[in-house]
Structure formats: C-alpha cells, structure tokens
Amino acid sequence: MGEKKESIKDLIRWARHYLNSKKINNPQLTAEIIAENITGKEKINLYLDRDTELSKEQKALFKKNIRRCARKIPLAYITGEQYFMGYRFLIRPGIFIPRPETEILVEKAIQFLEEIKKNHPARDIIVVDIGTGSGNIAISIAKKIKNAFIYAVDVSSLALEVAKNNAKAHRVHHQIDFLLGDLFSPLKEKGLEGRADLIVSNPPYVEEEKIRSLPEEVKKEPTFSLNGGREGVTFYKKIIPTSPRWLKKGGVLMLEIGYNQLEKVAKIIYEVQEFVDIPQIFYDLEGIARVISVRKK
C-alpha cells in the first residue's frame, strides 16, 4: 500500500482535533500558523490550495510541530518568528516573545517622537531602549522615525545576536547601536548623559511568587525576562530614579506596566524630584493601564 494522501485541509483538520484533545487554546489558528510557516503560503492561499498534498517532508514537519505545540512549547519558538506592529521578527528559544500589548508602548513612543520631528525637523532624535530582547521595540520605532538613533541594551548576548539580525532584515541596523550590559551601564561610554529624548522599556514585571502559576508555555521563556521581584517592581525601582541622568530637559520616560501595578509604579515616579508631578497613563481597549509616561522637568 502507498502512503496515505493528506491535503492541507486534511492536515489542518487532524491538527485541530489533536490539539483540542490536548486542551490547547485556539487549535484551528495554531494549525493554520504552522501550515503557513511550513508551506510559505499566506492564509488566503492556504485555503485556495487546501486540496494540495504536501511533500512527505512537509507533512512530517507539520505533525512534529503540532506535537511540540501539544507539549506547550511556545508557537513562536516552533515557527521561529513572531509578528509585532505588523512586522515579522525572528525569535529563538531563550528570547522573550513580543506581546501584542507592548504595541501600545510603541505607538505612544512613536506619537511622542513624531511631535519632536514636526517641531524640530532638522535635528536627530536619541532613544534608549532598556531590555531590547528581540529588538522589536527599537526596530519598530526606527522604521517609523527615520531621524531617530536608538541605543538598545540587553543583558543577553543571545538576545542581541537575534536583535541585530532582525535590524538587518528590516534595514534599520544603521539606526541602532546594540549594547550588551545591565540597564544603563553600557551608556556611560557613549557620552549620553542628558541627551536622550526618550527612554523606553518593557521591563520584567511578574511578581516572583506568580512565576510558578504562569501558563506552561510562558514558563518556557527566560525567567530573567519575566521575574520582576517580590512585588513585580524591582526593575522600575532601578530604571525610574536613574532615568533623569540620561534624559534631556523635557525628555520622556515611557514604561510598560503590569496588571494592577499602576499605583506602585506611580509612587516610585512621585519620589523622583526631577520628573513633573503628573505622569500620563495609557490604557488598552479593556481599560487596563498598560503604559506610564513621565517627563523630565
């Protein structure tokens, strides 16, 4: 007997039932994303060609990747990519996976920088991205603000390797200087004191005791990218008081914050005299505070 023929439609149907039996969320979408990744087809073409049979190698890889999903391996680690702000980013195990909610941070950062560009079209803009990870924040800003130069910092050499590749893929590598080190420490050699228009960061903010109760897929991401200490604000306590040293007068610090962290983070800001008294808060569509922004006097 020959090998059983299986079309794209058959494989997606099998994957949907298999993932559903393993209690994986969004089994249909997951199966489609893996099929798109393996075939190189966009979703619409996946369905136009739904009766097409895949090669033996493609079928084997599809089933292997579906089984990896069932073992709660993050989808971005399986496909090697994640979309953010409509852009494709390369991702590897050991790298924090960009989240849709971080797009609010980037959108607000771009709005602020566009205002500077409008008022001062000839001058360069300096941005600092603390904890750049895959480079998704820095690269998304660079693609929209062509006169911005971004210093993107991370403690992980693996993350910086991937971020550099992403910057080259998006052709903005000439706008970004990727720096290995902890928080602001690599900036000392760059002579950036009092020069940054914007400091942006999505720091680790999960409370330490909540790490063990995170979904299994999330726990497969690097702990150092998630763990925000006992109250979830360890990194805010480091970033916020130090930021005025690097910001120019009127420069802005913009941070993503976790669920129910607004009061804690605002309290840290209020204790720093160099900032104006009232920070701006930006919310998601569900009314959850996602971003806090404060200006240096």
Question: In angstroms, rounded to a whole number, what is the distance separating the alpha carbons of residues 79 and 166?
Answer: 15
pLDDT value at position 287?
93
β pairing state of 176-180 and 280-283: unpaired
Q: Is the pLDDT of residue 1 over 60?
A: no
Burial class for 269, CB neighbours closer than 10 Å (0-12, 13-18, 19+): buried
227 flagged as catalytic: no
Closest to 258 (Cα-Cα) out of 186, 207, 205, 213: 205
Catalytic residue among 202, 235, 244, 279: 202
Across 8-12, 134-138, 219-223, least confident range: 8-12
Q: List the alpha helices (DSSP H) in 50-122.
A: 56-70, 75-79, 102-119
pLDDT value at position 3?
59
User: Where is the binding site for substrate, in residues?
Assistant: 202-205
Question: In angstroms, rounded to a whole number, what is the distance separating the alpha carbons of residues 23 and 95?
Answer: 25
What is the per-residue pLDDT across 116-166, written as a single tens digit (0 to 9) for each? 988 888 788 999 999 999 999 999 999 999 999 999 999 999 999 999 999
Question: In angstroms, rounded to a whole number, what is the distance separating the alpha carbons of residues 130 and 179?
Answer: 10
Q: Residue 252: enclosing H or E segment and its boundaries?
A: strand 247-256
User: Where is the binding site, in residues?
Assistant: 131-135, 154, 202-205
74 flagged as catalytic: no
Q: What global pTM score does this model have?
A: 0.91
> Do residues 96 and 134 lie in contact, with contact meaning Cβ atoms separated by under 8 Å?
yes
pLDDT value at position 75?
94
Give the residue-averaged pLDDT of 202-225: 92
Question: In angstroms, rounded to a whole number, what is the distance separating the alpha carbons of residues 262 and 259?
Answer: 8
Catalytic residue among 27, 186, 203, 279: 203
Q: Is the pLDDT of residue 292 over 60?
A: yes
User: Where is the binding site for S-adenosyl-L-methionine, in residues?
Assistant: 131-135, 154, 202
Amino acid at 142: A
pLDDT value at position 145?
95
203 flagged as catalytic: yes
Q: Is the pLDDT of residue 195 over 80?
A: yes
Percent of residues, the chain, with pLDDT higher than 90: 78
Question: In angstroms, rounded to a whole number, what is the distance separating the alpha carbons of residues 240 and 244?
Answer: 8
List CB contacts of 213: < 8 A, sequence separation 6 or more: none
- The SS3 of residue 120 is coil
Catalytic residue among 62, 84, 89, 96: 96
Average per-residue pLDDT in the chain? Answer: 93
